[in-house]
């Protein structure tokens, strides 16, 4: 399921891919189109649309949780602070929570 293109003004239009384990928090939506200047704004916009989602991605200091991997256009940005990851028109953001198993 893809969300409609309900994007606010300002920022670059990007697409965020939501993996299956997080779709329970997005009502089944797999991709979200939104506008944001950086990764932090993108996550905040996702949380505005889907309250509680940011808790699954960010720690209490606003950094990425230890076991969450984020990619922008297939490049890992997990080691960077979300505010330090600029977004550009057409960027694709992928959020991948680590899956533990034995």
Which whole number is the average pLDDT over 48-65? 95
For residue 30, pLDDT beyond 70: yes
The structure's pTM equals 0.86
Q: What is the CATH number of domain 12-97?
A: 3.10.20.30
Q: What does the mean pLDDT of the chain come to?
A: 90
Please say if the pLDDT value at position 57 is more than 90. yes
Rounded mean pLDDT, 97-101: 71
Q: Beta-carbon neighbour count of residue 7 at 10 Å? A: 16
What's the pLDDT at 7? 45
User: What is the rounded distance in angstroms from the CA atom of residue 8 to the CA atom of residue 39?
Assistant: 16
The count of other CB atoms within 10 Å of the CB of residue 37 is: 15
Model confidence band, residue 101 (pLDDT cutoffs 50, 70, 90): low
**What are the extents of the domains in the chain?**
12-97
102 has a pLDDT exceeding 60: no
């Amino acid at each position: 399921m893809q969300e409609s293109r309900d994007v606010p003004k300002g920022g670059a239009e990007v697409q965020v891919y939501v993996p299956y384990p997080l779709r329970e928090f997005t009502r089944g939506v797999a991709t979200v189109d939104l506008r944001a200047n950086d990764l932090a704004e993108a996550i905040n916009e996702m949380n505005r649309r889907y309250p509680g989602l940011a808790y699954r991605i960010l720690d209490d200091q606003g950094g990425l949780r230890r076991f969450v991997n984020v990619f922008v256009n297939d490049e890992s940005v997990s080691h960077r602070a979300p505010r330090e990851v600029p977004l550009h028109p057409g960027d694709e953001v992928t959020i991948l929570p680590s899956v533990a198993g034995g």
